[in-house]
Amino acid sequence: MAAGPFSSETLWVADVANYTINPHDDVFLIFHKLSGDTHILNFLSAGILEVLKNNGAANFQTIAEWVWAFLDLTVEECPLDLVEKTILQLDDVALVLPQNG
C-alpha cells in the first residue's frame, strides 16, 4: 500500500540518498540502506528511479513521459497505468516517496 493518500497530481521523488543501484545482466540490484533490503528491479523500475534522480520530483504523467523518452518506449509499449503501478510498487519499498503536489 502506498504511503498516505495520493492523486494524479502528487509529486514523486526518488530517495537517492538511501539506496545504491548496481546493474547485473538484464536486472538491477538495489540495496535500500534504511531497511537493509536488496531488491531486484527490471528495466522499467530502474528507469523510473533514474529519471527521477536526474530530473527531480514529478507527477505520474510527467514521469511516464520522461520514462518513454529515456527508454525509447511508446505509450502502447508502456501504458501510463503501468508506470503508475510501478511507481506505487517502488513506494511500497520506500525507493520513491510522495510529496504534496
Does 53 fall in a domain?
Answer: yes
Does 35 fall in a domain?
Answer: yes
Sequential DSSP letters for 41-62: E-HHHHHHHHHHHHH--B-HHH
Q: Considering its fold, how many domains does the chain have in total?
A: 1
Maximum Cα–Cα distance for the chain, whole Å? 36
| 21 DSSP β-pair partners | 30
Does 3 fall in a domain?
Answer: no
**How do residues 52-74 score in pLDDT, each as one tens digit?**
999 999 999 999 999 999 999 99
Name the residue range of residue 66's domain: 12-99
pTM (two decimals): 0.92
- Contact status, residue 59 vs residue 65, Cβ threshold 8 Å: no
Low-confidence ranges of the chain (pLDDT < 50): 1, 101
Helix (H) or strand (E) holding 40: strand 38-41
